[in-house]
Amino acid sequence: MWSLVAVELYKIFKRPRTYIAFGAIAALIVVIQLGLKLDGASYAAFIMKDINDALTVDGKVLNGYLICYILLQLLLVHVPLLVALIAADMLSGEANLGTMRLLYTTPYSRSQWVMAKFIAASIYTLLLLIWLAVLALFVSMWVFGTDDLFLMKSNYVVLIESQDVLWRYVGAFIFASFSLLTVTSLGFLMSSLANNSIGPIVGTMSAIVFFTILSTLNIPLFSVIKPYLFTTHMNNWKEFFDLQVNANNEAIRGSILNVAKIKNSLLVLGLHIILFVTIAIQIMKRKDILS
């Protein structure tokens, strides 16, 4: 099995298209970091206007932890589109080139080939996420330094102590891996339905955009279906950055406000991954490869 995965990984990393995502992420992060380094004070003053009217905030607000949070907010919405570039091409690419028949004449079963391709696409996705983590978190920590994480949400502010932050990012990135693997499996499913690459890639991107819009609209009609959409749960990595408060209104160190919400989202995303991959395997098992 691992030899099949190695073959698929070789094929992925041989294609120049693979490196577009790595390049795009690096370019976006560097541009945002540069902008915040040069003019971060103005940005901080703008978003903290309401706070500064009542309180004096003393300390390094614009530190590496906050920069990483801002970057993740911006990028984790768009990275799924980059993941689709590779994942949605995994099966349809072979069909398009006419190499599917060749694969299935090897002593490995169709299921083994499909699983090997999914594992390879997942490894690519995880490497992309690690690349994102290194640039967004560790480079930001190096460039901007560290301090407490001062998060301004729509209705309240959360101040998380610096020693209580890093494990939350580990949790958030593990959660994000589930989100991106859901996109990988969706692209994989789309890929099993077509014999060319463009259709599944555009189809996956369209599905993500469509469901993301449904998830973000606060219209009561859509609220019924929202809990079942994977895009609703993909953004819940932010739950790692909210604290519980006790009866004295003191935030509790090391706490997470809504652990159940994270568990529920992981379950929904996990079920989506299993469902999409299982359907893709079944489709590929029955697929006519003689045409």
Partner 1 sequence: MKKIITTLISIVLLQTTNALAQGDPLIDKVSRKLALVNDYVAEGVMKTDVSFIKASLGKVKVYFKKPNLLKVRKEGGISLLPKGGVSLTINTLLNTKQYTAIQAGTQVVKGKSLSVIKLIPNDDQLDWVIATLWIDPVEALVYKTATTTKENGSYEISMEYGAYAQYGLASKIIFSFNTKDYKLPNGITLEFGDDEPVSKQKLLKNKKGSIEISYTHYSINKGIPPHIF
The residues binding partner 1 (CB under 8 A) are 47, 50-61, 73-74, 147-148, 150, 152-159, 161-162, 215-218, 223, 226, 232, 235, 238, 242-245, 247-253, 257
Q: Which of 74, 279 has the CB closer to partner 1?
A: 74
149: three-class secondary structure by DSSP: strand
Cβ(195)–Cβ(95) below 8 Å: yes
Shortest distance in whole angstroms from residue 244 CB to partner 1: 7
CA angle 43, 49, 55 (to 5 degrees): 125
160: three-class secondary structure by DSSP: strand
Q: Which of 94, 242 has the CB closer to partner 1?
A: 242
* Other beta carbons within 10 Å of 203: 19
* Cα dist from 112 to 102, 167, 211, whole Å: 14, 36, 31
CA-wise closest residue to 71 among 143, 3, 154, 178: 143
Q: Which of 157, 166 has the CB closer to partner 1?
A: 157
Distance CA 144, CA 36 (A): 9
Shortest distance in whole angstroms from residue 158 CB to partner 1: 5
Q: Which of 33, 231 has the CB closer to partner 1?
A: 231
| Number of residues that make up the chain | 291
CA-wise closest residue to 284 among 188, 213, 178: 188
Q: Which of 111, 163 has the CB closer to partner 1?
A: 163
Q: Which of 168, 287 has the CB closer to partner 1?
A: 168
Shortest distance in whole angstroms from residue 270 CB to partner 1: 21
Which neighbouring-strand residues pair with 152?
Answer: 157
Shortest distance in whole angstroms from residue 50 CB to partner 1: 5
Pairing of strands 157-160, 149-152: antiparallel
Cβ(116)–Cβ(4) below 8 Å: yes
Shortest distance in whole angstroms from residue 259 CB to partner 1: 14
* Other beta carbons within 10 Å of 14: 8
Shortest distance in whole angstroms from residue 66 CB to partner 1: 10
Q: Which of 90, 268 has the CB closer to partner 1?
A: 268
Cβ(197)–Cβ(93) below 8 Å: yes
Shortest distance in whole angstroms from residue 227 CB to partner 1: 11
